[in-house]
Structure 1
């Protein structure tokens, strides 16, 4: 098994590509050791020194370090990922539930068509680009011209996340959906 790694815009986070599906079409962000009980893989990673966050994506694993140098941390993370996949253990615990996109969303039913367009743009244009950097972004709501998004993984602590939201995503949505006035993190 060969695992590739990629740097992310957030220097505290590194993206690991195990070369096989991790979580199919969903993402699961586990920013704490307590949240990692949903995943034997995440628990194994949190057992390593300096691991402060884990996000599982469709075909990647993002690991956020608390401190230290990636040159010292990376070999143990690679080893833990490789051991997990070679053991045949599941990525998620049987009791784990990954929230489906759409849970806890808010918007006025009169805005359903606008929201559908926003969601389509996020799914087809924004999420693939953000996943390329080891993160994820999901629609949370729309109210009075403001789109609320949730950033996860490498994106949640990235210094560039505000610029990504304000200049990239906001401009994209305004171009295709004139009713959008602003994009805010949630």
Structure 2
């Protein structure tokens, strides 16, 4: 008789249901809808619940991300009961667990960025839906991949976005000496089922939270317009260069916009020029305000 244990995560919308034994060896699964969950009869059943947004299966747990129409407190026991009943009556968590030990081929290639200290490694597989930056190994609770990368003595910082990893190196090494080693490591890590980002362990970041719909609605109109401009026009461009930009604040008196640069954009020699000649001029034009100033915060 199996009884799953309910575990809260650092992300309030994601709840873990832990099994006494491993249910997925060396491979993690992410399903965003019932059609994607064909390999998991249990996930397909759970998607019939109207509040289930995404399902992650890894190791000995299933993590469920909910929509905001409910709170976990009101439904978590019923979900656990449904999982227990399904599994204890012969239902399968995964259709073919024997495939878990097989490698899943992935391609990885390196791209240069405007920042000579940063190289972008593009992966042929989705790594995360939440961009995260790691300044040291102490920050890597949510990223087994970043934790392993910091064990290389030449790795200074790591930034992981949807399908790429940006690595910032110390000046002690040249890219010609370490690129192949890093590319091979990332490729083998992903192929062997390593987790790039564990969504259930992401700690809420105040600068990221501002851009979420529920918090976005509480901002003033100008701040909302600035975020929309950054999201639509600026982020795709900086992502192509291996970086990211986050809105921090807007001071209506000083007309000052503060942003956070991540990944290849952080510390890039051309970032000041990009801010002033690119982003600042764009905001002045689109907001019809010549007094707008843009400033980057160094974290």
TM-score (norm 2): 0.57
In structure 1, the partner of 2:202 is 96
Separation (CA, whole Å) in 1 of partners of 2:270 and 2:119 = 15
SS at match of 2:209: coil
In structure 1, the partner of 2:236 is 128
How many residue pairs get aligned? The number is: 183
**Are residues 1:184 and 2:289 paired?**
no
Q: What is the aligned-residue RMSD (CA, Å)? A: 2.3
In structure 1, the partner of 2:139 is 35
Q: Deviations along 1:106-125, whole A, 9 cap, x unmatched?
A: xxx7x722111111110000
The offset of 1:92, in angstroms, is 2.4
In structure 2, the partner of 1:153 is 263
SS at match of 1:34: helix
Separation (CA, whole Å) in 2 of partners of 1:37 and 1:173 = 36
**Are residues 1:74 and 2:185 paired?**
no
Separation (CA, whole Å) in 2 of partners of 1:184 and 1:27 = 21
- Structure 1 residues 98 and 134, CA, compared in 2 at 3 Å: closer, same or farther? farther
- Structure 1 residues 118 and 96, CA, compared in 2 at 3 Å: closer, same or farther? closer
Q: Deviations along 1:83-136, whole A, 9 cap, x unmatched?
A: 21112122224533353723499xxx7x72211111111000000000111010
**Contact 1:136–1:153 (CA under 8 A) maintained in structure 2:** yes
Q: Which has the larger Rg?
A: 2
If asked which structure has higher relative contact order (CA below 8 Å, sep 6+), I would say 1
In structure 1, the partner of 2:250 is 142
- Structure 1 residues 104 and 86, CA, compared in 2 at 3 Å: closer, same or farther? closer
Separation (CA, whole Å) in 1 of partners of 2:272 and 2:154 = 26
The offset of 1:31, in angstroms, is 1.7
SS at match of 1:142: strand
**Contact 1:55–1:63 (CA under 8 A) maintained in structure 2:** yes
Gaps of 5+ in 2: 1-105, 213-217
Separation (CA, whole Å) in 1 of partners of 2:142 and 2:177 = 27
**Contact 1:22–1:91 (CA under 8 A) maintained in structure 2:** yes
- Decide which moves more: 72-81 or 154-163: 72-81
In structure 2, the partner of 1:15 is 120
Separation (CA, whole Å) in 2 of partners of 1:88 and 1:98 = 25
**Contact 1:2–1:19 (CA under 8 A) maintained in structure 2:** yes
In structure 2, the partner of 1:118 is 226
TM-score (norm 1): 0.90
Q: Deviations along 1:150-183, whole A, 9 cap, x unmatched?
A: 0011111101111111110000000001245200
